[in-house]
Every structure is written in structure tokens, then in C-alpha cells.
Structure 1
Amino acid sequence: MKVLEFLGRGTFGQVVKCWKKGTSDIVAIKILKNHPSYARQGQIEVSILSRLSQENADEFNFVRAFECFQHKNHTCLVFEMLEQNLYDFLKQNKFSPLPLKYIRPILQQMLALVVSGGSSG
């Protein structure tokens, strides 16, 4: 992987835009802070994402997680690169409440995913 750009920082770590060498793939890598509690959160996230990866990401419109690896004692989660994250979307809209026309499809997709997960165990 080659880091192309720093995308942001949050409670659990930072996110960078990377190019997967030998391919044309651009991905987002979430690098978790090297702290026991964050490592545990990372394990939970990996567990959830591996379960979600068994579902059809296109049908339910959730971000794809490709892999997870350790680098210098940091858990790294590799995701598909999306155009915009929720924070940037909210910032672009001056942090005003989201109109129902944006919230409704998100909630419908989440509910469909929960219902689907419930039927698979």
C-alpha cells in the first residue's frame, strides 16, 4: 500500500487514502490508535464487518471492508474508498438537521440489513 492522502482523524485513530500497489485500486485505511481499548473496539468492528461482508453490499448500500491487518502494533481496516463521509456531508450542510428525504432511505437500508442479519442467525 502507498499512502496518497491523509483523510481525517477521529476518536479511534486516523484514515488515509491509499493505492494498492500492483493494482489500480484506491482504498481507505482506518488506522486505529495503539491502545488496548481501541484494539478491542477494532476487534468488534472487524467481527461486525466480517458478518456484514457475507451480505450483498450493493443491495444494502453499506461500505465494503476488504481486509484487516496489523502494522507496527496498529490495527488497520481496509475499506472501499467512498466519495464523502458523513462528517463532511454534515459540514457541507452547515451541520443543519438532515431533511427527512435523506434520513428515510438510510433508515430503510439499515432496517433491511438488520432484518437480513436476523434471518441468517
Structure 2
Amino acid sequence: MVRFFRTNDVKTAYIMSYEPDDGGGGMFARTSGKRLAILFGLAFFGAFMLIQVVQGFPLRDILIREKITEERAIAIKQGDLCVIDTPDHPREIKNCPYNVGDRVIVTYSKNNAAIEAHRLAG
């Protein structure tokens, strides 16, 4: 772009140059797509790990089932359904051959309501 200015009755031409605007993208406009994908992936992974730390690693409980075997007494029996009281919540035994008060050894997964195995304590 050329502009003319008058100084002391003499026309003087000044040439002004500028760099074309890149659309205002700033840092991200000059970054390749591969680097942006890596940056996004790292940000996502960091946020995911932060949530896991804050929540006490709940994903571990889903992926790695902790088996618990303990002896408990039958608390309630209704028909062929028995209920035992475990530390986290009551659990049911279907087609239950036991009576109220019987001591039963049960095996179950932590954070899962189902009983995997049961037998009368000897």
C-alpha cells in the first residue's frame, strides 16, 4: 500500500508493509493437526486421571473385582429367598435351602449385589 504525505510542499511516498492476518488463530493456527491431537489427548487423559484421583479410583473397582468370602447368618427367609446382611448392604440367596439363623459361608464381589457361592458353615 502506498500513501502520499505532504511535507513542506513536497509529496513524499511512504510504503507501508504489513504481515497478512492469519485469521486471529494465534498459537493454534501455527500448530499442526498432529500436535493439536496429541495436546487434546493429553488434556483428556489428565482430566480423566484427575477425576479418578478425586473419586478414589472407581474404575479400578469396575475392572478388578475384589472377591470377599465371609461367614454370615441368614437374617430373613421368605419362601425360597434368604437374605443375609453384609457390611455394604443386604444380599439375597435364591432357592435357599437354609433356615433363619443358619451360619452360611458366602462369596461375593465387592460392589456387586449377587452372591457367587454359598454353603453351610461346618
TM more than 0.5: no
Which structure's residues are more often strand, by fraction?
2
TM-score range for the pair, normalised by the shorter chain length:
under 0.3
Say which one has the larger Rg. 2
Which structure's residues are more often helix, by fraction?
1
Q: TM-score, normalised by structure 2?
A: 0.19
